[in-house]
Structure 1
Amino acid sequence: MDEVQDAPGGPGTPPTWSSSDKDMVTTALGPSRVWATLGHGIVNEVYWPSTGRPQIRDLGFIVAGPNGWTEVKRTERYLLSLPRPYVPLPSVVHEGDDFRLELEFLPHPLRDVLLIRFALSGEGMKLHALVAPHLNGMPTNSGFAGADLMASEGEAALCLYADTGFSRTSAGYVGTSDGWQDFARNGRMTWQYPAARNGNIALMGELAASNGILALGFSQTPEGARTLARSALADDYNETRTLFVSGWENWGRTLKLPYASPETRHAAELSAMVIKVHEDRTYAGAVVASLSVPWGRAMTMPAAIIWCGPATRWRLRSRSSLRASMRMPAARSIISSERRRRKAIGHRTITRTDAATGPASSSMKWPCRCCWPPSCGPWGISPTRRPKWPWCAQRSTSSCVMAR
């Protein structure tokens, strides 16, 4: 470009979210307030500072070489693995005709940062990172491209930085001047726009090395996000990884699954981990229904309107699942949170007509089992006799009073 100027084509196409078809969810057990989702082998929505506030649509990769370019999420040739079923440290390997891309996704336990370790192999191949900010769940953001990739909207900001640096960067509007459009039209990265303001934006950076670490930091200000991202990269990655794994392994050792086959134990540990990931940091016992945006690919409204709230049926079933695996403190925390929520709104019963927060009649026994005394065993069933279920559960009446 003869003259540096902001990206053309604003405000871009109407924004959407990612599909709810997720591969994995992850978070760290610590003061960090970042929850990440994976779909099609890349990062989808990342939530910060709570489980109801998605901040990006996705963060993916384009691999380019002498024979063309590939967006890895569209190839659908990848393998995901975990070190243990109760440790959400996903590793993803993408295989192409002439490349191999290895990724590891690590939420920093002490900082509001998601770390991504990458390793690309293949002769003459270059790796490009693409991030689509939807800060505060809003359709318009402002983005800036320089030594790092920045975006801001109101009191939310992000920074994507690489320990090896970017050889070139660009900011653009989705559908007109973003990095994907650059590759689609020119077959390589040729645009280097420094900013795209007040629109549906996307940021791209060509990584200067084939191996390294990316840091995606979140804060209320661009300066804070940049500081967090660079501080996370200054930490030793292996030490950060060990801290993350040890936190989850300490939690996993508390799971008690007697008389379970290896297959059942694996499935139960994986399920318990997924429930644990969905817990909120700010409100003890709060469990979001799902770390995804319903009908995300077709959704254009702000995410604040479509948060997945902590629906009663899922909170209670989460509590029963944790109780079955003998995670009693976590289970009691969930039911206590639900009691407080219902008391605050003046509603102490669960009705089958309460579509938003209550279970249908087929689910009536769940809250009764959840509230059964712990002495009756993890399933709410006495080991010596079948309990006499409360009358409302036996008769499937229209309401069931929670345990007093």
Structure 2
Amino acid sequence: MSAPTGRLLRRFALVAALPVTVAAAVAGVPPARADAAPAPGGPGAASHFDVARKDCVGTARSGASKVWYTVANGALSDVYEPTIDNSDVESMQYVVTDGRTFTELQARDTTYSVATDPSGMACTVTAASRRGRYRITTTYVTDPGRDAVVMSTRVQPAGLRLYVRLDTNVNGNGGGGVANGGADSGVIDGATRAPVVSDTNTVTNAANRDYAVPTHLALRAQRPLPEASVGYAGTGSDGAAQLDTARALTPAYTSAPHGNVVATARLPLDRDGRVTFALGFGRSPSAALGTAADAVSRPFASTLGRYQAGWRAYDAHLRRPPARLDGRLRDAYRQSVNVLKASEDKTFPGAVAASLGSPWGQAVGAGDAPGGKAVYFGSYREVFARDLYEAFTGLLAAGDIGTARATVRFLLLRQQQPDGRLPRNSLLNGRIAPDTGGDQLDETAYPILMAHQAGLAGDTELWPHVRSAADFVVAHGPAFGVERWEEQSGYSPSTIAAEIAGLVAAGDVADRHGDPGRARLYRATADRFTRSVKGWTVTTSGPYAPRYFLRLSRAGDPDAAVSYNLGNGGPTEDQRRVVDAGFLELTRLGVLPARDPDVLASLRVVDGVLRRTTPSGPGWYRYGTGTAGTEDGYGDCYEPDPTSCERTGSPWPPSDTGSGHLWPVLTGERAEQALQTGDTGTAADLLRTMRGMSSGTGLVPEQAWEDPDLPASPYGTDPATASIGFRSGGPAGSASPLTWAQAQQARLALALGARRP
């Protein structure tokens, strides 16, 4: 794929007024020597996290390497170390100059294309100057033996100067602005001339995150860096501003304490314009320097070979996709399973994050200080029980039984609460996160089903946890808390389906552990819910058809004239007008047959209300009504919709209002429904649709843009209001990849081979 790299909307403004020293350099005066005084301009502009629509993601298969890289808008984006919820890099972009006549910034002045190897874990990005001046090709991997991101880069033609501007958020936050929360400190190491950026603070607003450690980041290349400087983002000491105005990194600063630190370095290119360099991490500056040095001490081909060998070994043990799938879809299967495995933390087994990006990170402040403490922004890089269940289904279907079982143990032994319930989400250690809230009974029921499906029904350690979860469902079902979209309470077909499946599984587990009384109770409750689910959720007085499933009924009476607000800036509607496709969980989990008359009638209603056709194929909104534009409000703004968002293309935060978009997971659910009725052709077409909605080379997003194409906002626009650029049928801006979606794509590919879900 190709896209304008100008979509990368950085938070610095290029300085118009040149310092005296820079002006002198432009006039031909030799560059100033490194300035021993701290860089001016601290603490710099407020830091942010980065775009969550990733082009590539990757990590070594080895557990010895606790670092993950991502690429977004063609440039290195969030880098996580030593845990998957700890972002240390906002972005890293190239700056190219001939030293005399021009300077170009990767984010502003290039376009790019991206490719991955067969595993999907090694990423190569080619950035090309819009003016035809050069081409930069970079391959990204992580070192299998240590915490380092390693990059092999070539700029053509040779003879140009290539710099990197590293915008850091070390240890999960980045400082700057008025609050300057989580400030970093940068230095140029005297012995190696390498930049080192540090944050030793381990206290944030996440009180239960007891696994935080001091973190240091070093940038080194195979040979000493010819030039390096540290400064503050958005000020005269920002290396990009210096290079853009003066074609030189002068003066160079050797320290930038306590702020939003950027490190800028000239890379030591060889005669062919090639260089290998690395970002190394450690618990001390010397450890980070040593890690980076070790990572670049061996040929890049050797590191790449070991990295790829690790993923080949993993893939060799997976179930193979059906031969009848075309090559691209077979690759999509492999990449999807690898993304699932790559999304597992390496300190806490089974902790598979909901995404390797946090929604609209570019509009979320990394320098805030809630309650006077540095901000923690785990977001989708935390563990959500429902999303983990979906990831589990993909791993289990693919044959990775070990990781599948680890997810069960994580939920029941780490995340479960004393009363048996499972929280909405948790930190990687299983404890409550700052954004945890809202009970959801399906998230308590799914782990029971997972234990049964993973062959752990006889596990004596897990039995008390299965029992307490099942007891909680019996005591609080069928309606307690909110449904799967986490916004409305009531009687939800999808939630009740999960409760029924969980209780049936719990009955079998109870039998195995000699508790026939509980087994009878669990089965009897499941039977009652099965008999009653239509009476609770199928309306006979709605406007769309004689009978159909609702998204939910507020009090168990689907014919009542009860209204509720859809949220996210949306309207208030009669419950009988609000539909979604959650009832398909009843067929997927075997509660109802796929050809049940009410299911078929409801599918026609859903298609009339929620289906939209895009250049990639059909997609569906999460929920909505027959009034145009009422379909959800969680997503990038589209002003023609009747929502309160203010600028088309702007991200959902910080106003938390926007427009709903299509969800590829719903395309996958519809494909599974087609398989249940024997329609393999439609299922295969919908799998291709999911692929077409993906970002990069196959990362399935949370949402897909269904509105007219929209260009990216001009470079330098405030990221809180800027469009990152959208194509109809392509990924929207919330998060990509979504592990739920990757899991569904993986299991759908296998199901097409078996001709059943």
TM-score range, shorter chain: 0.7 to 0.9
SS in 2 for 1:55: strand
Counterpart pick for 1:44 among 77, 85, 105: 77
Q: Deviations over 1:235-269 (max 9, x none)?
A: 34322222111110011122214535024322221
State the Cα distance separating 1:102 from its structure 2 match.
0.9
Distance 2:161 2:502 in 1: 53
CA contact (8 A) 2:344 2:350 kept: yes
Query: Which residue in the other structure is 2:126 paired with?
Result: 93
State the Cα distance separating 1:44 from its structure 2 match.
0.7
Going from structure 1 to structure 2, the CA distance change for 1:370 and 1:68 (only over 3 Å counts) comes to: farther
The one-letter code matched in structure 2 to 1:252 is: D
CA contact (8 A) 1:87 1:249 kept: no
Deviates most, 314-323 or 350-359: 350-359
Going from structure 1 to structure 2, the CA distance change for 1:282 and 1:186 (only over 3 Å counts) comes to: same
Counterpart pick for 2:56 among 8, 14, 24: 24
State the Cα distance separating 1:347 from its structure 2 match.
2.7
State the Cα distance separating 1:299 from its structure 2 match.
1.6
Q: Per chain length, whose mean CA-contact separation is higher, i.e. which structure has more relative contact order (CA < 8 Å, sep 6+)?
A: 1
Q: Deviations over 1:110-158 (max 9, x none)?
A: 1111111111112541110111121112321111125111111112111
Query: Which residue in the other structure is 1:376 paired with?
Result: none
**What TM-score does the superposition give when structure 1 sets the normalisation length?**
0.86
Distance 1:21 1:251 in 2: 26
Counterpart pick for 1:80 among 104, 114, 117: 114
State the Cα distance separating 1:51 from its structure 2 match.
0.5
Whether 1:162 and 2:196 are equivalent positions in the alignment is: no
Query: Which residue in the other structure is 1:8 paired with?
Result: 40
The one-letter code matched in structure 2 to 1:83 is: D
Query: Which residue in the other structure is 2:280 paired with?
Result: 217
Query: Which residue in the other structure is 2:357 paired with?
Result: 292
Bigger proportion of residues as strand: 1
State the Cα distance separating 1:362 from its structure 2 match.
5.5
Counterpart pick for 1:208 among 245, 249, 268: 268
Whether 1:148 and 2:194 are equivalent positions in the alignment is: yes
State the Cα distance separating 1:64 from its structure 2 match.
1.4
Query: Which residue in the other structure is 1:261 paired with?
Result: 325
Counterpart pick for 1:332 among 394, 402, 405: 405
Going from structure 1 to structure 2, the CA distance change for 1:54 and 1:335 (only over 3 Å counts) comes to: same
SS in 2 for 1:248: helix
CA contact (8 A) 2:96 2:105 kept: yes
Query: Which residue in the other structure is 1:71 paired with?
Result: 105
Deviates most, 326-335 or 100-109: 326-335
Whether 1:322 and 2:395 are equivalent positions in the alignment is: yes
CA contact (8 A) 1:279 1:286 kept: yes
Q: Deviations over 1:27-70 (max 9, x none)?
A: 00111100111111111111111111111111221111254122
Any gaps of 5 or more consecutive residues in structure 2? 1-31, 176-182, 201-213, 369-373, 423-439, 443-480, 506-524, 537-551, 553-584, 586-757
SS in 2 for 1:304: coil
- Superposition pairs of residues 113-124 of structure 1, within 5 angstroms: 113-122=148-157, 124=159
Counterpart pick for 1:246 among 282, 301, 309: 309
Going from structure 1 to structure 2, the CA distance change for 1:351 and 1:224 (only over 3 Å counts) comes to: same
State the Cα distance separating 1:336 from its structure 2 match.
2.6
Counterpart pick for 2:348 among 283, 293, 301: 283
State the Cα distance separating 1:292 from its structure 2 match.
2.1
Distance 1:107 1:192 in 2: 29
Query: Which residue in the other structure is 1:384 paired with?
Result: none
Query: Which residue in the other structure is 1:229 paired with?
Result: 292
- Identity of matched residues, %: 24
Deviates most, 128-137 or 220-229: 128-137
SS in 1 for 2:226: strand
State the Cα distance separating 1:325 from its structure 2 match.
2.2
SS in 2 for 1:132: strand
State the Cα distance separating 1:343 from its structure 2 match.
3.3
**What TM-score does the superposition give when structure 2 sets the normalisation length?**
0.47
CA contact (8 A) 2:230 2:256 kept: yes
SS in 1 for 2:314: helix
SS in 2 for 1:166: coil
State the Cα distance separating 1:390 from its structure 2 match.
5.2
CA contact (8 A) 2:231 2:256 kept: yes
Superposition CA RMSD, Å: 2.8
State the Cα distance separating 1:356 from its structure 2 match.
9.5
Displaced runs of 4 or more, over 4 A: 354-360, 365-373, 389-394
Going from structure 1 to structure 2, the CA distance change for 1:144 and 1:258 (only over 3 Å counts) comes to: closer
Whether 1:195 and 2:260 are equivalent positions in the alignment is: no
Whether 1:270 and 2:270 are equivalent positions in the alignment is: no
Distance 1:370 1:29 in 2: 33
CA contact (8 A) 2:172 2:377 kept: no
